[in-house]
Structure 1
Amino acid sequence: MYKYILESAGSINWMAISALLTFVTVFLVSAIMAFRSPLAYLNKMSNLPLEDSILQTSETDIRHEEK
């Protein structure tokens, strides 16, 4: 059935089909990984940009060797 559909479509290139299959495969794998990951991990990753755990240093805080 699929062979008949692809033959009747005419100018479908095999590279276009392989690109489509690659996209669908990557999308499905990433969706499965996202749904199977623990909720605590997802919450941690979603709040990570909002946390201010990295100390901001200014030029006065950095001690250079005196010459």
Structure 2
Amino acid sequence: MYKYILEGVGDINWMAISALLTFVAVFTVSAVMAFRSPLAYLNKMSNLPLDDSILQTSETDIRHEEK
């Protein structure tokens, strides 16, 4: 069934080309952003999952309702 639908559409090579161009554009932008980021920011973000101080401060800031 899908074969007949795609045959009726005609030449669909433009879909593959547009998907490839979109991927290349997103990859290029992300690579440029990664290489232009300051080293201190990258180190901070890389250590963020291992940093326990954020968990401790967020746990103490939570206020529970009194019953």
Query: In structure 2, how many angstroms separate the alpha carbons of the residues matched to 1:35 and 1:12?
Result: 36
- Runs of 4+ in structure 1 over 2 Å off: 62-66
Q: Could you say which structure has the higher helix fraction?
A: 2
Q: Match for residue 50 of structure 1?
A: 50
Q: Kindly report the root-mean-square deviation, in angstroms, between the aligned alpha carbons of the 2 structures.
A: 2.2
Listed one character per residue, the Cα deviations across residues 7-61 of structure 1 (whole Å, up to 9, x for unaligned) are: xxxx77100000000000000000000000000000000000001011285xxxx
Q: Which amino acid aligns with 1:32?
A: V
- Higher gyration radius (CA): 1
TM-score (norm 2): 0.66
User: What CA distance in whole angstroms lies between the structure 2 residues aligned with 1:41 and 1:14?
Assistant: 39
How many residues align? The count is: 52
Higher relative contact order (CA 8 A, sep 6+): 1
The Cα of 1:63 is off from its aligned counterpart by 5.8
Q: CA deviation at 1:65?
A: 2.4
TM-score between the two structures when normalised by the length of structure 1: 0.66
Q: Which residue of 2 aligns with 1:20?
A: 20
